[in-house]
Amino acid sequence: MHQYLMPMTSDAPTTAVAALDIGGTKMAACVATASGPLLRVVQSTLTSGTPDTIARQGLRLIDECCQQLQIDPAVVQSVGVSSCGPFELRDGAIGIIPPNLCGGLPNRDDLPNDWTFLPLESVLRKRFSPVGSVRIANDCVAALHGERAFGTAPANSIYVTWSTGIGFGLCVDGHILNGKAGNAGHAGHMLLSETSDALCGCGNRGDLEGMIGGRNVGKHLGKPLEVIFRDAQGGDAAALDVVKDAARWFGRALYNLTTILDTEAIFIGGSVWRHNEALLAPLVQREIDDRFPALTRDVTVQSTTLGELVTDLGAFSLVMPADWIADWRAQRPWETLRSVPLAETR
Amino acid sequence: MHQYLMPMTSDAPTTAVAALDIGGTKMAACVATASGPLLRVVQSTLTSGTPDTIARQGLRLIDECCQQLQIDPAVVQSVGVSSCGPFELRDGAIGIIPPNLCGGLPNRDDLPNDWTFLPLESVLRKRFSPVGSVRIANDCVAALHGERAFGTAPANSIYVTWSTGIGFGLCVDGHILNGKAGNAGHAGHMLLSETSDALCGCGNRGDLEGMIGGRNVGKHLGKPLEVIFRDAQGGDAAALDVVKDAARWFGRALYNLTTILDTEAIFIGGSVWRHNEALLAPLVQREIDDRFPALTRDVTVQSTTLGELVTDLGAFSLVMPADWIADWRAQRPWETLRSVPLAETR
């Protein structure tokens, strides 16, 4: 097995980079050299301990990658991070305050911690100290960096993930937007309906994520989402109504962003979209095409070209040398990357 | 009178810049030297003739400025343009397709022309040929350039004008957004209501401008807008409902943009806002403050610091040397600028 995972053992790398993907339920670490990503390890995100637990778990996963690859951890000289948010700056360093990890936030008594802020940058900088060796972006912002680096996203483009949450990365005039604290792209919290009482985790009623985030689509039908989509595919009227309604709200949000940003291409990922693209795509495209031709003409909507690794690749692209990016674009070495699950106790 | 308008006649300028502000009803031209803008002439926007009428009118107004100032037009070496939109690129050159000027667009049989596209850049470049001597921005985008150059707008800020139409300029990470054809900031066409049947000029129902553009606020009351606001100020319940409703939609739009772009400051201009700021400001601020603290905390909402000249100053800033901008910031020479109306026949 190690043979497979270590194509470079005979010629040990002198420079490597790491990618961390920090999600509310899973965390992944990858290590890569110029020739491509070598290994990806995945573990459930920890939810107890001190607030620096998350960042330290990330560092441990990078070390775990190195150990499995028999690479000296010292050759890993930088780390790109794609993380759930929202972000908050404290003393100029990025941390996160995700409602699904922080038990100290209002209404999260169900979590086994009293966290209100999770430091990332300050912890990672103790290990990766040169300027530019730690770069952190919101997960969907990172994904758009990935689409720009390795995919086909043009200068005015949007990445959106539609899964439990709905998040966006926004690129205008070739510049991927960060905002005052790195939170640009929280467009899932855009208010769209004044009548919906669907409650979002952020406290809004009637925002995009509250209405059609993975947990909320067709809630009144009392069925798992995959069953609703299967029923819709089979022609069940109630299920089809739910799907059409969800696609309509999603399309309206994409129209809004197109008119706000003068976008030319939209790339979509996330489990809700991925499993139901054939059903959703024409409904979503129509919601955009039907409006304000001067702004929507020729706007394209398509799935991410990088699949489920889009955020990992985005995290890599934050810290990779430009010549590596050019090589990876040509070789697409991530297509053979293996993911290894780790037990929680490690 | 000429004495007043020509502070520099004894020492004729060798370099000047022009600003054009092209609106659906009025067009203004200013000419400035390093020491400040010297004169502003205003004329009704022409609506008949060949499609290049608008751009040629702009050039004529610049010449008119020069003539009144007794300046050789050849010293005017560049022009910044703030224009109504939407913009369209033809052969790489910016033109406009404004529904309120183009009689050839659907449903505009009332206009005395069959225009479908008004060239700007290609016409202006015949007179101002060096690269960078013609720069054109949407009027609200230009206004935000003005706020950035001469006002206090920080790196993540929004300019919005609330008058007959509602338009935006958007700045993220210090970069003012253009989009694929210069149309970023058309957020007045953001869909906010799924129940409103208010029809916008763009064809949408339930977008911001359709619901609360100057012509549409409180339409059902059958009174001029200034009367509605005066009645509301006096405590009239129906008028106050209209004002509260308008402020709520406006605030929701600003909240949406704040969460999409991670903004820190919002600057507002336009006649609806200017005349009713005291009544509107607290209602609008509340609509933002009540939501998603991680993104809205400390977001400020205030009137433009540059008054009614904000778009003219923005147009100037597009083509002014940096040292002029620094001087103008210190001296605020625009505060004594005189506007001269011109008859339509000129």
| pLDDT tens figures, A39-74 | 999 999 999 999 999 999 999 999 999 999 999 999
**Res B2: pLDDT:** 40
Q: Is the pLDDT of residue A5 over 60?
A: no
Considering CB atoms only, which of A155, A184, A259 is closest to B261? A184
Which of B241, B167, B244, B240 is closest to B208 using CA atoms? B167
8 Å CB contact between B300 and B264: yes
Which of B123, B125, B105 is closest to B115 using CA atoms? B105
Tell me the C-alpha distance between B184 and B170, whole Å: 8
8 Å CB contact between B151 and B267: yes
Chain A residue numbers with beta carbons less than 8 Å from the beta carbon of B203 are: 291-292
CA distance B105 to chain A (A): 12
**Res B11: pLDDT:** 66
More confident residue, B100 or A2: B100
CA distance B181 to chain A (A): 7
* B2-138+312-341 CATH: 3.30.420.40
Tell me the C-alpha distance between A193 and A205, whole Å: 8
| Same topology between domain A2-138+308-341 and domain A152-303 | yes
Binary contact (A86, B294; C-beta < 8 A): yes
Q: Which CATH code, of 3.60.20.10, 3.30.420.40, 3.40.50.300, 1.20.120.1200, is assigned to A152-303?
A: 3.30.420.40
Please, which pLDDT band fits residue A132 given cuts at 50, 70 and 90? confident
Angle between helices A139-150 and A322-331 (to 10 degrees): 70
Mean pLDDT computed over B3-31 = 79
Chain A residue numbers with beta carbons less than 8 Å from the beta carbon of B172 are: 172, 175, 177-179, 184
**Percent of chain A clearing pLDDT 70 (strictly above):** 96
CA atoms within 13 A on the CB side of B124: 30
Residue in B with minimal Cα distance to A191: B256
Write down the ipTM of this complex: 0.93
**Percent of chain B clearing pLDDT 90 (strictly above):** 88
Which of B131, B134, B119, B126 is closest to B78 using CA atoms? B134
Tell me the C-alpha distance between A91 and A41, whole Å: 31
**Res B4: pLDDT:** 40
3-state secondary structure (DSSP) of residue B202: coil
**Res A159: pLDDT:** 98
CA distance B13 to chain A (A): 36
Domains of chain A, by residue range, sit at 2-138+308-341, 152-303
Q: What's the pTM value of the predicted model, to 2 decimals?
A: 0.94
Binary contact (A178, B172; C-beta < 8 A): yes
* Mutation for B interface: A160, A202, A295, A299, most B CBs within 10 A: A295
Considering CB atoms only, which of A181, A182, A295 is closest to B186? A295
Please, which pLDDT band fits residue B283 given cuts at 50, 70 and 90? very high
**Res A336: pLDDT:** 94
* A2-138+308-341 CATH: 3.30.420.40
Q: Which amino acid is at B198?
A: A
Please, which pLDDT band fits residue B271 given cuts at 50, 70 and 90? very high
**Res A11: pLDDT:** 66
| Average per-residue pLDDT for chain A | 93
